[in-house]
Amino acid sequence: MQNAVVVENLTKEFYKGHKPKQTFKEYFVNPFKKIDRKKFRAVDDLSFEVKKGEFFGIIGRNGSGKSTLLKMLAGILEPTSGNIEINGKVVPFLELGVGFNPDLTARENVFLNGSILGMKREVIEEKFDEIIAFAEVEEFVDTQVKNFSSGMYVRLAFAIAIQAEADVYLIDEILAVGDLNFQQKCFNLFKELKKQGKTILFVSHDLGAVREFCDRVMYIKFGKKINIGKSRTVVEDYVVNDRKESKETTEGGEIEVDLLNLDSEEQDTIVNNSPVKIRIKYELKPEALDDDLVIGFSIWKDEENYIFGTNSLIEDTKIDFKQKGYVDFVIKDYPFLHGHYDFSAAIHNKEGKNYVWKDNLAKLKVVRNDKHDGLVNMDVEIEQKD
């Protein structure tokens, strides 16, 4: 099949730390002063291909170079080196909205943006009602868009972008602000576009959506390609990788978690809503002890889903930290249903600087006699009227 997008050895460098010089003063005040201009690579030697008609996902953490990549594909940023080849017309949809002018009304912005995207005036006129209806802003056609909610703003921008007939759509994080109803509408539309043989490059943190809609996914980290392939495999790889390097650190000491019952005996399996005592054992370096510390834990289901977290600050308890010691957190009845639960623990200061953070410190298995389904247990009674 024909390729819609071919990217070869694409690299983009930015200067780090210093705002580029923009006034005479900065150019001339000290021309001999060598400014320390460290370069940093937002996108680093990236090569990939997207086939025509493919729904291609790009995932990675914030700052991994996803948006820079899309901006280069859209022709807004110039690559430092490397090649981009795109077959067909591109319509970008970047960073929450096309370039709307806040002082113009929705109507005026539709015409402005439509023509920026290369639509003829007659075409925009013809599709105007459809655009407004898709965006669900019928009542606010003559309102300045600066008074729009972020959801309305994005809906309108998206509605215009999809009307500009293109072969390749670049979509960056649009679903973050839309409500469920709109998201569903977008996905129906994506399916429709795909049927028409359009190519879609899709950046999102919504891994569920990526897994569901993308044919292939690329996972990038620090601008480098880590993995590319079937969406399920790549998303899983990302989840595991991303968790592993989440915030784990041991620079300020060591930490361990024991799961105990109320008699302080170790347990790794509980039946029904039993009590659990979470004992966090720590060892702190002197520099950590000088700070105002908070200790806490989080619970994860199947290593992937964050379901609960608390700490001594949230519980409003002052902990007297020693060089070595432990703190017990007691959960009177553990409400989660059958499954495996992982515990992370951390010690940080009130500003969020982590001294110790470790994941997967302990595993708890829950078995239940009842057959309640889902995540959390609730007591249910059935009432019947005669």
**Region binding other proteins by CB under 8 A among candidate stretches 56-64, 113-121, 302-310, 342-350:** 113-121
CA distance 187 to 214: 11
Closer of 53 and 97 to other proteins (Cβ): 97
- What is the spatial distance between Cα 272 and Cα 369, in angstroms, rounded to a whole number? 7
Which single residue is written with the structure tokens 């790549």? Answer: 234
Tell whether residue 145 is a contact of other proteins (CB under 8 A).
Answer: no
3-class DSSP assignment, residue 302: coil
Residue 11, SS3? strand
> Helix, strand or coil for residue 77?
coil
Do 60 and 66 form a contact (C-beta atoms < 8 A)? Answer: yes
Query: Phi and psi dihedrals of 383, rounded to 5?
Result: -105, 140
Strand partners, 339: 366
Report the residue number, 110 or 362, with the smaller CB distance to other proteins. 110
Regarding 115 and contact with other proteins (CB under 8 A), the answer is: yes
The only residue of 77, 209, 228, 239 in contact with other proteins, by rule CB under 8 A: 77
Structure tokens at 116: 């920026």
Say how many C-beta atoms besides its own lie within 10 A of residue 182's C-beta.
20
Q: Give the Cα separation of 222 and 244 in Å (integer).
A: 16
Site string for other proteins, 19-48 (x = CB under 8 A): -xxxxxx-x---------------------
Residue 291 burial (10 A CB sphere; 0-12, 13-18, 19+):
middle
- When the beta carbons of 90 and 137 are compared against other proteins, the nearer one is 90
Cβ contacts of residue 63 below 8 Å, gap of 6+? none
Site for other proteins in 78-97 (CB under 8 A): 78, 90, 92, 94-95, 97
Asked whether position 75 contacts other proteins by CB under 8 A, the answer is yes
To other proteins, the closest distance from the beta carbon of 161 in angstroms equals 9
Q: Does 116 contact other proteins by CB under 8 A?
A: yes
Q: Which stretch binds other proteins (CB under 8 A): 118-126, 147-155, 211-219, 363-371?
A: 118-126
Residue 74 and residue 80: Cα distance in Å, rounded? 15
- Residue 98 within binding range of other proteins, rule CB under 8 A: yes
Which of 9, 47, 83, 101 is in the footprint of other proteins by CB under 8 A? 101
Q: How many residues bind other proteins (CB under 8 A)?
A: 35
The 8-class DSSP code of residue 272 comes to S
376 part of the interface to other proteins, by CB under 8 A: no
Tell me which stretch binds other proteins (CB under 8 A): 100-108, 245-253, 296-304, 344-352. 100-108
The least distance separating other proteins from the CB of residue 123, rounded to whole angstroms, comes to: 9
User: Which residues are near other proteins by CB under 8 A?
Assistant: 14, 20-25, 27, 74-78, 90, 92, 94-95, 97-101, 103-104, 108, 111-113, 115-121
